[in-house]
Every structure is written in structure tokens, then in C-alpha cells.
């Protein structure tokens, strides 16, 4: 595995003395889709903020495409790693969707033409193109969340981190998220999500990293992880509903994470 994004012996302690990450190493390649799961307070958001340089390691290193985050500003790192905040209201500060999405490309020094192109591309991808002239705060939370996703995509980073993207999304939003992730993968972008939504992780991410008590306790194929009782119990995480249903029916097929998997299993019997 190549190490486009390399986290090596990483520890992070907040100024109040709380050690939120304890000696973590992870390697993530271009084009990978990785879910980070774990209980509240496990250190997932802290880890994401170290990946895009918002936080700098207390010890150890985070290197993206050869850039050690300690040697670059957060603005420089954000060209390579885009982070979509859990709460869109922590990110949005312009009066129109267009200006909000254009902010990143403008700061990168793109020409007017490039800015227009990137804003239109990104907003079409996440299906908010009709709202370009609207004030983001007149739009519902689910749409505001896509405004922040588009803002990051418009900067064309290599790695996109989505923090709790399914919160507040209906079926239409979930479908749009899935197609956006699929398209980003086609463009060989690395997509990382922090999520409590196990169905979302199971359907869209091939690899899952499990965090608990400031540590990485597992890292592997999503199917294996969601069928590993010990890991999920230690992390305090429940597997997807369909895996639980299958287990309670006595079906021990590790491939079952989604309804379609259970249907296939039943059809094969
Ligand atoms: N600015 C801060 N100062 C001190 N401690 C903090 C700070 N931010 C987070 N923490 C603590 O660090 C730990 C990890 O927090 P973090 O937000 O990374 O967890 P998380 O796994 O993302 O949780 P959640 O699922 O609730 O978002 C928690 O105990 C949290 O209280």
C-alpha cells in the first residue's frame, strides 16, 4: 500500500492536558474510501483535524503527499486535504451559496473563469446548483451541509474528509452523498468519513478504522470489522441492523452488511 497520507506514531494532547490521540499510525492511499468509527469522544474529529493541519501533532508526524503538516500552514494543507465540518454553521460565512463555494477557489488564486467553472461543477455534483443565489441560512440544514461539501470539492483537494455527513439527511440526501462519493472515487480522490451511521459506512466505504479511548483499535475491510464482535464491543459500536438481524437468525455469513447482501444470501440457499 502506498502512503499518500501517512500518520506515524501520532499523539495529540489538548492544551488542557487531555491526551486525545495516543501513538497512532495509519497509511491511506489515493482513491481509498475509509470510514472512521467509534464512540463519542474516541478521538475521531481530533484525528481528522490533524489530517488537514488544523491541529499539529504533539508528537509523531502527519505527511500528505510528502508534505509534513508541521512544515506547512493550515491554508497550504487545505489544498491537499479538505475537511467538511460536522456542523455546517461552523463553516458557512457568506451571504450566497455562490460566494460561499467560491471562497476556497478564490483564496487559491484561481482566475474568475476557473472559479465559475469549479463552483458550477461542485454544486451540480451535490445537486445544489439551483440554490446558488440563495442565502445559505435560508436553506434547510441538509442543504447547508451540501453547501459545505461543495465548498471543499470546489478546491479540488486530493483528500476529502466528511465529518458526520449523514446527520439530518433524508433518503434524497443519502442517495446524493453516495453518488458524490462514487464520483470522487472515480476522480481518484481519497474520501474519509467520520460516522456514527453504520449503514452509511457499510454501503460506501471498503475500509474501516475503529477508534476507542484515544487509540486505533482496528483497521481493515469494512465487512470483517462489522463482523468482529470483540472489536465492536470494545469500541461500544453496534454493527449495521442487517448484520445484527442475520446473526440473530443464526446466519454467520460475514459478507452481510446490507439488505441486498441478505437477499442474495437467501436466494442462494
Ligand atoms: N478543544 C479541546 N480541548 C480539550 N479537550 C478536547 C477538545 N476537543 C475535544 N476534546 C476532547 O478530546 C476527546 C476526543 O474528542 P473528539 O471530538 O476528537 O472525539 P470524537 O470521537 O470525534 O467524538 P464525537 O463522535 O462526539 O464527535 C474528547 O474527550 C473531547 O472531550
* Residue in the structure block whose three cell numbers are 483564496: 107
Instruction: Tell me how far the alpha carbon of residue 160 lies from the centroid of ligand 1, in angstroms.
Output: 20
Pairing of strands 33-37, 207-212: parallel
- How high is the pLDDT of residue 2? 63
- Nearest CA residue ID for atom 26, ligand 1: 40
Atom of ligand 1 nearest to the CA of 42: 21
The predicted structure's pLDDT at residue 197: 93
Whole-model pTM: value is 0.93
Q: 183 near 124, Cβ under 8 Å?
A: no
Distance (Å) from CA 41 to ligand 1 centroid? 5
Ligand 1, pocket-test mutation among 10, 12, 14, most atoms within 8 A of CB? 14
Which residue has its alpha carbon closest to ligand 1 atom 9?
A: 46
Nearest CA to ligand 1 atom 28: 41
Question: Would the ipTM clear 0.90, i.e. be above it?
Answer: yes
**19-73 per-position pLDDT tens digit:** 999 999 999 999 999 999 999 999 999 999 999 999 999 999 999 999 999 999 9
Whole-number Å distance, alpha carbon 117 to ligand 1 midpoint, is 37
Residue to mutate (ligand 1; options 15, 17, 46; most atoms within 8 A of CB): 46
**For residue 125, how far is its CA from the centre of ligand 1 (angstroms)?**
31
pLDDT of residue 85: 93
Q: Would you state the cell numbers that stand for residue 83, as one nine-digit string?
A: 475537511
Cell output for 163: 465529518
Alpha-carbon distances, residue 145 vs 87, 110, 158 (angstroms): 8, 24, 20
Strand ranges inside 95-173, DSSP E: 159-163
Distance CA 145, CA 120 (A): 17
Taking CB atoms and a 6 Å cutoff, what residues make up the pocket around ligand 1? 14, 16, 18, 20, 38, 40-46
Report which protein residue has its CA nearest ligand 1's atom 17: 45
What size, in residues, is the chain?
A: 269
Residue holding cell 461500544?
236
Nearest ligand 1 atom, CA 164 = 27
- pLDDT at residue number 20: 97
pLDDT score at 12: 98
Substitution candidate for ligand 1 out of 10, 44, 212 with most atoms within 8 A of CB:
44
pLDDT computed for residue 67 by the predictor = 96
Regions of the chain short of the pLDDT cut 70? 1-2, 254
46: CA distance to ligand 1 center in Å?
A: 6
d(CA 228, CA 222): 10
For residue 246, the model assigns a pLDDT of 85
Amino acid at each position: 500500500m502506498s502512503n499518500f497520507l501517512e500518520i506515524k506514531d501520532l499523539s495529540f494532547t489538548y492544551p488542557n492536558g487531555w491526551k486525545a490521540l495516543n501513538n497512532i499510525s495509519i497509511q491511506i492511499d489515493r482513491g481509498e474510501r475509509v470510514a472512521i468509527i467509534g464512540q463519542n469522544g474516541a478521538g475521531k474529529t481530533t484525528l481528522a483535524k490533524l489530517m488537514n493541519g488544523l491541529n499539529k501533532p504533539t508528537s509523531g508526524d502527519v505527511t500528505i503527499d510528502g508534505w509534513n503538516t508541521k512544515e506547512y500552514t493550515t491554508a497550504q494543507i487545505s489544498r491537499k486535504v479538505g475537511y467538511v465540518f460536522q456542523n455546517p454553521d461552523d463553516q458557512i460565512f457568506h451571504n450566497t451559496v455562490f460566494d460561499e463555494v467560491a471562497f476556497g477557489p478564490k483564496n487559491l488564486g484561481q482566475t474568475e473563469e476557473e472559479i465559475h467553472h469549479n463552483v458550477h461543477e461542485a454544486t451540480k455534483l451535490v445537486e445544489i446548483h439551483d440554490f446558488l443565489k440563495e442565502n445559505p441560512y435560508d436553506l434547510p440544514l441538509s442543504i447547508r451541509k451540501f453547501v459545505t461539501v461543495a465548498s471543499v470539492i470546489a478546491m479540488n483537494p486530493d483528500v476529502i474528509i466528511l465529518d458526520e455527513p449523514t446527520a439530518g439527511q433524508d433518503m434524497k440526501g443519502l442517495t446524493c452523498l453516495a453518488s458524490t462519493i462514487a464520483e470522487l472515487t472515480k476522480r481518484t480522490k481519497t474520501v474519509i468519513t467520520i460516522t456514527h451511521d453504520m449503514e452509511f459506512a457499510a454501503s460506501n466505504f471498503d475500509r474501516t478504522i475503529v477508534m476507542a479511548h484515544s487509540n486505533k483499535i482496528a483497521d481493515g475491510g469494512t465487512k470483517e470489522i462489522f463482523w468482529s464482535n470483540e472489536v465492536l464491543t470494545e469500541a461500544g459500536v453496534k454493527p449495521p441492523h442487517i448484520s445484527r438481524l442475520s446473526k440473530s437468525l443464526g446466519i454467520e455469513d460475514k459478507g452481510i452488511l446490507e439488505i441486498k447482501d441478505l437477499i442474495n444470501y437467501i436466494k442462494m440457499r
